[in-house]
Amino acid sequence: MKDAATRFGYSVNKDRQIDFDNNSHDIALRVAAAEPTLNLCISCGTCAATCTAAKFADFSLRKIILLVKRGEVGGLEMEASRCMLCGKCQLACPRGVSTRNLILQINKALQTSKL
Amino acid sequence: MKNKHVAVIGAGPAGLEASSLLVSMGYAVTLIEKEEESGGHLKRWHQLFPNRKAGSEVLAILQNQLNGSASIEFNKEITSVKPFSGKFIISTSDGWVTHADSVLMTTGFDLFDARKKEEYGYGIYDQVITSADLEEMFKTEDSLKIRLGQQPKRFGFVHCVGSRDEKAGNIYCSKVCCVTAVKQAIEVKELFPDAEVYCFYMDLRMFGRHYEELYKEAQEKYNIQFIRGRLSEASENKYGGVIVKVEDTLLGKPLKITVDMLVLMTGMVAPLVTSRIRDLLGLTKDEDGFLAPSDIHLSANICEIPGLFMAGACSGPKTIGDTLADARSAAVAVDKYFKN
Ligand SMILES: Cc1cc2nc3c(=O)[nH]c(=O)nc-3n(C[C@H](O)[C@H](O)[C@H](O)COP(=O)(O)OP(=O)(O)OC[C@H]3O[C@@H](n4cnc5c(N)ncnc54)[C@H](O)[C@@H]3O)c2cc1C
Ligand code: SF4
Ligand code: SF4
Ligand code: SF4
């Protein structure tokens, strides 16, 4: 019985689904308040394409922005801290997202939410 | 030349605009409409994208410029158009008949019947409505507030309902619904500033002038969120909320969210009766069902039958601006036909 349950995907592991209703949207609200250009992102990926850090590590600003917006912030801190704040992405972003400050604010919000 | 008689079938924006132009060129025009009033779909729209002009204002201008100069026949659904020794016989199924030297088809589009996408719950769940229903609700100030109570928390807009969907029989894009969703999302936020609004889309097609700006305004000023993914299904929870499932394709993860109201952006389809007329006439059958002009670049209002013309959404999805320009171009084509 137990065997069948796990094999058919009814296990107790957290599934991959984004549970938007139950996720906390506190980080997204705080980041948007501190850096309103969060809302301007169109997920084009230019920032990640130009990013120096992304060449060496699993890090994409585009993805981080989306994860923040969806409230999928568990374990995000490590990834978000990989930014070197070089500011290259800010020159490239077509929507005028203030990317550098955005990452600073995301890092700040993630850190204070732990306290 | 100038005593020629043109029958214009369908008194929507295309029919109204083409008729007034043909009249000003000196032709005798009979405008034939199946409903009891003119205006077509425009009479249902509260405010128009991209500039939020009142639909009623645009309609009044189109109606006034005609102002009695063409005869209008209401409550007559044309089911047959036949060429007959250089003229056309135009008739309804209940025996009304008229003749004309030329026919302009301006029969527009039908809204996709959202009940066909059963998995989205239209006609099953109370809080699943269509974009056309929402326009109706905007028209009467309080109807949305009464329906939802004062504090709805979340709205969802589903793009491409019945469009870009071969399962629904339509491979094409209906063109106007992306920007309509953005416009309606803004209007909802104005009515309920504390509500969250989500658009579920496959691609955002902001093709027209000022559309991208409207999209940016929706993000910047109204905090409307866009989630890329096509709805798999909607279901109701025990509190009357609608549970929506999509894949957030930009994150590669399934996503579940509950909304208080789900708005389906239904697309345009070719009216069945128009297709029947097309088949009776033996005109080219385009896969999408809309009337096929001889050439989409050079002769968008002409088909293989001399004297038969088309304008507006009956030859494919169009905005009102597109439709009116197309109608004027059709009037010029009719004029050219008689002068040759
Ligand atoms: C939800 C939605 C919102 C929209 N909002 C906007 C907007 O904000 N701005 C914008 O630019 N565009 C908008 N549009 C597009 C707009 O509605 C069309 O561009 C316009 O209605 C096309 O005009 P038409 O005259 O070609 O067709 P229609 O408006 O469909 O008019 C066709 C007319 O022909 C009549 N008819 C049909 N068949 C027959 C027959 N056999 N015999 C007699 N009469 C017949 C119909 O009753 C109707 O009166 C929207 C579309 C949708 C679906
Ligand atoms: S500022 Fe950070 S995210 Fe932007 S390019 Fe530099 S390292 Fe990458
Ligand atoms: S470049 Fe700008 S708009 Fe594009 S994904 Fe990055 S932040 Fe978003
Ligand atoms: S305009 Fe947008 S919503 Fe409408 S069919 Fe095209 S892509 Fe889909």
Q: Is the dihedral of CA A10, A11, A14, A16 positive or negative?
A: negative
The verdict on B169 and B278 lying in the same domain is: no
Whole-number mean pLDDT of chain B? Answer: 96
A40 assigned to some structural domain: yes
| Contact by Cβ (8 Å): B290, B314 | yes
pLDDT at B151: 87
Quick check: A44 contacting B, CB < 8 Å?
Answer: no
B253 to A32: CB separation less than 8 angstroms, yes or no: no
Could you tell me the two tokens for B313? 């959404």
Task: Using the mean position of ligand 3's atoms as its centre, give its distance from the Cα of residue A94 in Å.
Answer: 7
Asked if residue A87 belongs to a domain, the reply is yes
What whole-number distance in Å separates Cα of residue A47 and Cα of residue A54? Answer: 9
Cα(B284) to ligand 1 centroid in Å equals 22
Q: What's the mean pLDDT when you consider all of chain A?
A: 90
Q: Report pLDDT digits (tens) over B265-312.
A: 999 999 999 999 999 999 999 999 999 999 999 999 999 999 999 999
Identity of residue A63: K
Query: Is the minimum distance from the CB of B311 to ligand 1 under 6 angstroms?
Result: no
Ligand 2: list residues with CB < 6 Å. Answer: A 47, 50-53, 61, 83-89, 99-100, 103
Per the CB < 8 Å rule, is B220 touching A40? yes
- What number is the average pLDDT over the span A69-81? 94
Where b means 16+ CB within 10 Å and e means fewer, B54-86 reads ebeebbeebbeebeeebebbeebbbeebeeeee
Q: Domain tally for chain A?
A: 1
Nearest Cβ partner of A17 from B219, B256, B258? B256
| CA separation for the pair B177, B159 (Å, rounded) | 7
- Contact of A42 with B227, CB cutoff 8 Å: no
The answer to whether B289 and B269 are in contact (CB under 8 A) is yes
For residue B277, the ligand 1 atom closest to its alpha carbon is 41
Domain count, chain B: 2
d(CA B113, CA B321): 25
Residue B198 has pLDDT above 70, yes or no: yes
Q: Which residue has the tokens 């952006």?
A: B265
For chain B, how big is the Rg over CA atoms in Å?
21
Q: Chain B: give the shortest CA distance to residue A96, in Å.
A: 11
Which range marks the domain in which residue A50 is found? 24-114
Predicted confidence at residue A7, as pLDDT, reads: 54
Residues B47 and B145 in one domain: no
Q: Of A13-17, B98-102, B106-110, B218-222, which range is least confident?
A: A13-17
CB contact under 8 A, B219 and A40: yes
Q: Is the pLDDT of residue B186 over 90?
A: yes
Residues B181 and B239 in one domain: yes
| Position A38 in a domain | yes
Quick one: B193 and B96 in the same domain? no
Dig out the tokens for B305 from the structure. 């039958």
> 3-state class of B29 per DSSP?
strand
Same domain? For B215 and B328 the reply is: no
Within a domain: A2: no
Q: How far is the C-alpha of A64 from the C-alpha of B225, rounded, in Å?
A: 16
Q: Which long-range contacts (CB under 8 A, 24 or more apart) does B163-167 make?
A: B163/B112, B163/B267, B163/B268, B164/B202, B165/B117
| DSSP for residue B138 | H
Strand B97-100 and strand B87-92: pairing? antiparallel
Contact B258 A21 (CB under 8 A): yes
pLDDT of amino acid B68: 87
Query: What is the span of the domain harbouring residue B100?
Result: 5-109+270-339
Domain boundary among B248, B268, B288: B268
3-class SS of residue B254:
strand
What is the pLDDT, as a whole number, of residue A1? 44
pTM: 0.95
Residue A31 counted as domain residue:
yes
Query: Is A59 within a domain?
Result: yes
| Distance in Å, alpha carbon of B207 to nearest chain A alpha carbon | 16
Q: How far is A8 from chain B (nearest CA, A)?
A: 18
Same domain, B247 and B210: yes
Atom of ligand 4 nearest to the CA of B159: 3
Q: Is A8 within a domain? A: no
Q: Are residues B45 and B87 in the same domain?
A: yes
Side chain identity at residue B305, one-letter code: I
Backbone angles phi, psi at B28, to 5 degrees: -85, 125
The reply to whether A14 falls in a domain is: no
Give the residue from B177, B158, B201 showing the smallest Cα distance to B313: B177
- CATH classification of the domain holding B72: 3.50.50.60
Choose the mutation target among A62, A70, A72 for the interface with B, i.e. most B CBs under 10 Å: A70
* Cα dihedral B11, B333, B285, B296 in deg (nearest 10): -110
Report, in angstroms and rounded to the nearest whole number, the Rg of chain A calculated over CA atoms.
Answer: 16
Report the DSSP beta bridge partners of residue B247. Answer: B254
**ipTM of model:** 0.89
- Contact list, B220 vs chain A (CB under 8 Å): 36, 39-40
